[in-house]
Every structure is written in structure tokens, then in C-alpha cells.
Chain A
Amino acid sequence: MKSFYKLVLATAFSLSSLSAFAAGSETPEGKVQSTFPPISSDAYEKFGGKYGMDRWVEGLFKYIMLDNRINYIFTAHGKIDRQIKLNQQLVAVMLGAPGVEYQGASMSAAHAEMGITLTQFNAVVEDAYLACEDLRTPYHTCNQLIAALAPFKRSIVTR
């Protein structure tokens, strides 16, 4: 019995030190998101290139603004057009689009003050899937983007 608890504790301890290390690293807005395993190299193309990606972000904001769980947060801040434009840049960079630069603030700078909850973050994730469906983007392709955006949770969710 004792040895079992020791094992559990040792595992928990070594893994938590790992996670502390990971949480400390800032998520990269400026470059391709590195995930395990890496997102598929043709994800940007599968999303329909620049045209498809831009429409996807518009679709995402359509669903966000229809989502009563979170839309009030966005209306309170206004600047939806700016957000759409910046998000179009951001997701393109995340999926490795050539020659695109993200010109907005870091994820923590943009969201830290808002006290966003995980429940609200997940609402955006669910709206992201809906936007994929609108564009007939396959679930597998959509998951490449979800994998790339998921780590932003650590800088966006502060509650």
C-alpha cells in the first residue's frame, strides 16, 4: 500500500513540475503553433487558403455574436471588425500561411483584464466547430486549428 501511494505522489510531483514549466512559457502569437503531434502541414490549404480562412473567422464571429453565453462580452468591447481582421491574421499564422504577419496584441495582453472563464473559452471552441461546419470543413481539418488554438487557454482564461 505504502509503495503505491509513494508511486502516485512521485508521478504527480514529477508531472506537476513539468506542467509548471509549460505554463510558464508564453504562447506564440507570432509563429506556427507547435503541437504534439504537429498539425498537418496542409491544414491551411484544407481550410480553403486565405479565402476560406477569412470566411471561417467571419463565420466564427457570426456564431459568437449569436451565442448568448458570450456575445455580451464582445458587444461591450465593440471593435468587432478589428477583432475579425486580427483573428484572420492570427489563425493564418498559426496554420503556417506564408507571408502573413499578426499585428495585434499578445493573447494575454488582449484578454487578461477581462476575467474570461473556461466556460466562456469553451463557448468559443463550440462556435469554432459550428463555423467549420458552415464552411463544410471536415472535422479532422477543423481539429488541426483547434489543436493550434487550445494552448491559448493558458493566457486567455484567467479565472
Chain B
Amino acid sequence: MNGYSRGCGKKAAIAFACATLGFAISGAAQAGIYDAGKVLATSGVNITDGAAGGGITPWAVIAGYETNQGINGSIHYTYANLPNYSLNSLGVAVGFYDRLELSYAYDLLPTGSTFNTVGLLTNTLAGVAIQDSGIDPFNTAIRMDIFGAKLRVLGESIYDSDTLIPQVAIGGFYKINHNGALMDTLLANKRKDFEAYVAITKIFFPLDLLFNVTVRYTAANQTGLTGFGGPNKNSREFRPEVSFAYLLAKNVAIGAEYAAHGKNTDGRGVAVGGGIDTSVLGSITGALNNIGVGGPVGNLANNLNSTLTQRESDWYDVFFAYFPNKNLSFVAAYANLGNITLTPKQTGAYFSVQASF
């Protein structure tokens, strides 16, 4: 039941996405509808959810370098190195006529030491009525498929420089988290869910500035990596995201992003078995005492109250994006993802590379 062994199922989805891209591109070339006419860097980059945008926020731009004359697309690999996790995202996005974008991303989050405590605890408690926590101590990776679609509904961020009309797109994701048992342990209401968003992008050339506001309608916990909704509810809510990029040169941008996150499982414990929620930790400590667990595990139990409380924070990043040409781009960022479930202060470097066709 651990992370890597079930990853093969995902290969089908990746192969499907790659094949789709392949057909789209080769079909485009044959029909003469391949196009790479956008101005350098105006395609944005691919976010960890797979859509075109900044680093974590989808923008109103459509992926790829096509204009209304054709089809284009890109693939990305992103790696974020955090103290207790590493986030890997691999994806493909295809833009049709600068109007419609279809994307797929596979996110993989090896959890490092984060859930070992929970895993060890549930293994220790195995004599007591215990459920599968979805955690294999020292070997747990969260996997999520993300299917996305985006439609540019109006405006042109570049050419409407004489008006305040922004470029506006609406989009959505369907996210499938493959760690069902772990999501139960983390008290998430669902492991599959959709998100919808409106993104508004405007470029202010006189200021060398791109500005984006996105409002996402979602119930995601940590973008869905720890499921959707909390123990009591799965109500989606509107969460704002803001990005700006300062264009240093025609092929270099620096900027910052902010994405509001929810509080579905914030302040909650984890379910370590028999329906026990560690936010009522007395019972766990009691259980441990009853079965006579002392020593390190006993001490552990006494510290569990703080250790096993989940937290969620808004995400921030500052980024540097470099577009040497239309076929290749790189992003280096510093991401502050705050508290991720059981581990505080998850800040670290983020690297992304994209290839366009």
C-alpha cells in the first residue's frame, strides 16, 4: 500500500497524456496548424497543477506559444525541495488557438520523515483495533493526477494596453489523490475533487509589469495533496491568489505569488486507528498506558499532542524565470509553503524546467 508500488497505474495516464500531445502536435504539423507565434515568455510557465501560469497559480494565459493560428504545447518537470518533503510535478499542457488549454500533471510528494511518527505509532498500536493508516513508515509518497481545462473568455493582456480590460480565463481541475487510506488518516473528507477558477491577467508594459489575480473555488487541503475537505465538511470556498511578475528583460522575469489555502484540517489531529482522532489525544496516551507502552514510544505519546496536530498555511513564492528561447524555459524559486500537515516551516528551493514545441 505504499507510494511507489502503485505508481504503475499512473503510467497509463502519463502515456495517455503524452500520446494525446504527440497526436496533437504531429496532427498540427500535418494540417499546417502548428504555430509558435506568441511573443517570447508570454506563454507563462506550467504550474504544479499543470496549467499555464506562474509557479503555483494558474493565470489567464493559454499554454504554449500558439496564437489564434494554431496549436502548441509544453511539458514540464518541477522539483521543490522542502525540509520534510520533496514535491515533484511532471506534466503536459496543450494550447489550442490561444483559446483552450488542456493539461495533465502527475504530482508526487515523498513525505520523508513527516508521517513516520504516525506510521510507527499505528504499527505499534497494531494490537489494538487499528485501521490501515495508509502510511508505510519511511516509505510513503503521495500521488495525485490532475486533469485541467482552461478557456480564455475575453481580453488580451498584451494588446489591450490602451484600456484597463484584462485577459480573463475560466478553468478547472479534476484531481485524483491516490492515497485514500492516508487521506482518511488525515481526516480529509474526499480524495477526488474538482476545483474551478477565474483568472485575470494584465500586462502593464509602461511599468514592465504583469499582474494576475485568480479566485479558486476549492475544498483542497495543500492543493489536494492531503485530500479535500475536513472531518466535518467538504464545502468548497473561494480562495484568492495573486501574482506579479516584473519583466527585467524580454526573456527574464522575477516575481512573487501568494495563494490562500483553507483551514479544513487546520488544528485537527490525525486518525490513528479505531476512529481515534489525535485531537483528543488523551485517549491515545491512555491507550498506550493501558497496553503498558513506556520508553521512547511513551515519551512520544506525551509529545504527540503538538506533533500530531495538522496545520495548513497560505503559500508564497518568489521566482526567477528565464526564457532562453521559445523551446525552453527555467524557473528557480523560493517557496514558503508554511505548515504542511504535521510539519511546520516548509520553505525551500523550487526548480522547474519546461520544453515547448
CA of A150 to CA of B162, assembled, Å? 8
Contacts of B163 in A (CB 8 A): 18-19, 22, 36
Contact B159 A119 (CB under 8 A): no
Q: How far is the CA of A119 from the CA of B64 in the complex (A)?
A: 13
Neighbour of A154 across the interface among B159, B236, B248, CB < 8 A: B159
B196–A37 touching, CB < 8 Å: no
Do residues A35 and B165 form an inter-chain contact, with CB atoms below 8 A? no
Give chain B's interface secondary structure class: loop
Residues on A with C-beta less than 8 A from B37 are 117-120, 122-123
Which one of A12, A147, A154 lies within 8 Å of B206 (CB-CB)? A147
Tell me whether A139 and B39 are in contact in the complex, defined as CB-CB below 8 angstroms, given that A16-B154, A35-B205 are known contacts.
no
A108 → B minimal CB distance (Å): 15
Q: Interface SS of chain A: helix, strand, loop or mixed?
A: helix
Q: Is A126 a contact of B162 with CB atoms below 8 Å?
A: no
The answer on a CB contact under 8 Å between A34 and B162 is yes
The answer, among A8, A27, A148, A154, for a CB contact under 8 Å with B170, is: A8
- A19 and B161 in contact, given A119-B35, A126-B39, A139-B247 (Cβ under 8 angstroms): no
B334 at the interface (CB under 8 A from A): no
What residues on A are CB-neighbors of B10 within 8 Å? Answer: none
Question: Which single residue of chain A is at the shortest CB-CB distance from B66?
Answer: A119
CB-CB nearest in chain B for A146: B205
Residues of A close to B67: CB separation below 8 A: 117-119, 122
Query: Closest approach, in angstroms, between the C-beta of A24 and any C-beta of chain B?
Result: 12
Contact residues, B113-149 vs A (CB, 8 A): none
Verify if A65 is at the interface (C-beta below 8 Å from B): no
- Cβ of A126 to closest chain B Cβ, rounded Å: 6
CB distance from A9 to the nearest CB of B (A): 10
The 7 A-B residue pairs whose C-beta atoms are closest, nearest first, are A119-B37, A147-B205, A153-B159, A118-B67, A151-B162, A150-B161, A143-B205
Given A15-B168, A126-B39, 19 more A-B residue pairs with CB atoms under 8 Å apart are: A11-B168, A11-B198, A15-B154, A15-B166, A19-B154, A19-B163, A33-B162, A35-B161, A35-B162, A37-B204, A37-B207, A38-B206, A119-B70, A122-B67, A123-B37, A147-B206, A150-B161, A151-B160, A153-B159
